[in-house]
Chains A and B, each alone.
Chain A
């Protein structure tokens, strides 16, 4: 089994977001970067499957050299090898096209991504990649097993859950429940230092979209406090004042 996991390098969830250059660039000053949490779940599940059934897991990232600590962490968690496509990840289309160009000749049995990155929340790479590689794409999966060459999957749907089967190869995006994250141990961290991390240059393709500016939401006005003895008054305020019920 040959599996590809796409990882992105994102600001830690505790980050207080701010911008520089007249609100056109994300301010990375003092920001801790991590592997996108959903991608980490995808990686862990890929490892669980290949450990049971044999095979290798490759991680791929589209990013500049600054993403290498996250890639090394993916190797420490257990990925066998890594590829970094040396380019700024401008938009989902660009990223998917770069990964598709790389994956085309590698014959992966399946490809996993996270459900979305927690910075730009697009959730588009899995679908784009599926179409570009002419593979099915299954979003927000909460379970995956490969049995006799068929993938058994579960995915979130609006208001429920769907069980489905899929032939190989395919692309799927990981949802929270897929598995528990794995913390790298010392042996993994040592081994990661010598595992192959190949850097390849981007291949053509330009971005279709571009963020022109950012804006932070306006701060909330003062919170109207209701005395606990009078808690029922909340309903009246929500009806007459806020007009939401």
Chain B
């Protein structure tokens, strides 16, 4: 079986979620006597393209025409579908990032493929084709059967390990023959906060709620996050009051995340919030209310005022980091 995997890059660098996706595809290929072709779109150095072999790609197909200079769901999905048809691939893997989510459905529609997003398991072949995904914003899992010959899976970042293998991938230049007239969007400006870890990909997350009393106290959260190398997040009330940008809001109507560590400070743990974070591997709750529902969902808890607890945790984190 041939597997196509979308190797997403940002400014010419592959993302961690890309290596997860390639590793995921390689493991499926290994158990099916299959092969993996990674599709890279836009300008990436040959050295970096070859690196995809390290995670199990047998082949790298690269699309570098002018139409791919900025992201467009129309052009990128056409390239991915082009590669799939070209190789007669049966499975297409993308990471469930913002870009991945944009192109996955368009690719599926072009290939008449069944699509599952939010995938958190390897496919099960014993009785047709099944994968597990999260539903109800993490409140539950669902097993989904796919009955089309071509399948598209959008896998959740931070759900699968990066696995190294010693393959060397052949690089091949491709052209999907996309005309300028096929693209209806024009990118005007891209603004990224430099040096910040994207929340959806972060392994460690420090998050806070109304217990912080106001946006002026957020430096305490940012300090702890910086020392730990974590991303920052917040609860819904905090983003509703514009203390923090909405892009930091985790929960049922915000972002669902799956870090290794989630530290919740001054967040009570409403069901909607827990939905977005309950898949985290380890949860720490810090709250002055011993009855806060978060303690029922947490692995570690400290009952205490954030302003008393945080300096102690920060000091210990600094000592720990400098000792490393």
Residues of chain A at the chain B interface (Cβ within 8 Å): 11, 13-17, 19, 37-38, 91-93, 96, 118-128, 130-132, 135-140, 142, 155-167, 170, 175-177, 208-217, 220-221, 223-228, 231-239, 242, 244-245
Given contacts A118-B137, A228-B309, contact A136 B303 (CB under 8 A): no
CA distance A118 to B136 in the complex (A): 6
CB-CB nearest 7 A-B residue pairs: A127-B105, A232-B316, A208-B114, A160-B192, A228-B304, A131-B109, A231-B312
| B295 A17 Cβ-Cβ under 8 A | no
A234, B313: Cβ atoms under 8 Å?
yes
Cβ of A231 and Cβ of B304 under 8 Å apart? yes
A13 B253 Cβ-Cβ under 8 A: yes
Are A158 and B142 within 8 A (Cβ)?
no
Contact status B296-A220, CB under 8 Å:
yes
A159 / chain B contacts, CB cutoff of 8 Å:
10, 192-193, 196-198
From residue B321, how far is it (CB to closest CB) to chain A in Å?
9
Taking CB atoms, residues of chain A closer than 8 Å to B64 are: none
Min C-beta distance of A158 to chain B, whole Å: 5
Cβ-defined contact, A136 with B308, below 8 A: no
Complex A-B: 20 CB contacts under 8 Å: A38-B253, A118-B137, A120-B135, A120-B136, A123-B117, A127-B77, A127-B102, A127-B105, A127-B109, A131-B105, A136-B72, A159-B198, A163-B190, A164-B186, A166-B185, A211-B145, A231-B302, A232-B312, A234-B302, A242-B282
Are A92 and B115 interface neighbours, CB within 8 A? Answer: yes
Q: Are B184 and A157 in contact (CB under 8 A)?
A: no
Assembled-state Cα–Cα distance A92/B106 (Å): 12
Q: Which residue of B lies closest to A37 (CB)?
A: B253
Known: A156-B98, A157-B98, A212-B144. A121 touches B137 (CB 8 A): yes
Closest B residue to A130 using CB positions: B106
Inter-chain contacts of B2 with A (CB < 8 A): none
Interface string of B285-309 (1 = CB under 8 A from A): 1000000000111111111100011
A131 to B113, CA, bound (A): 13
Centre residue among A125, A212, A245 by max chain B CB count within 10 A: A245
Cα-based distance from A238 to B206 in the complex (angstroms): 13
- Give the residue of B109, B249, B309 whose beta carbon is less than 8 angstroms from that of A132: B109
Interface size on B, residues (CB 8 A): 99
User: Is B233 interfacial (CB 8 A cutoff)?
Assistant: no
Beyond A13-B272, A234-B300, 9 additional contacts (C-beta under 8 Å) are A15-B136, A17-B140, A121-B118, A124-B115, A158-B15, A159-B192, A166-B184, A226-B301, A238-B284
Least Cβ distance of B23 to chain A in Å?
Answer: 19
Min distance, Cβ A143 to any Cβ of chain B, angstroms:
12
Please measure, in the bound complex, the distance between the C-alpha atom of A136 and the C-alpha atom of B134, giving whole angstroms: 28
Given contacts A209-B115, A225-B302, contact A236 B98 (CB under 8 A): no
Contacts of A162 in B (CB 8 A): 71, 187-191
> Beyond A135-B184, A157-B98, A245-B261, is A17–B302 a contact (Cβ under 8 Å)?
no
Least CB distance, B265 to chain A, in whole angstroms:
11
A215 cross-chain contacts in B, Cβ below 8 A: 140-143
Q: Within the assembled complex, what's the spacing in Å between the Cα atoms of A96 and B105? A: 10
A-side contacts of B72, CB under 8 Å: 136
Give the distance in Å from the alpha carbon of A17 to the alpha carbon of B141 in the complex: 11
- Kindly state whether residue B260 has any CB partner on chain A within 8 Å: yes
The answer to whether A213 and B106 touch across the interface, beta carbons within 8 angstroms, is: no
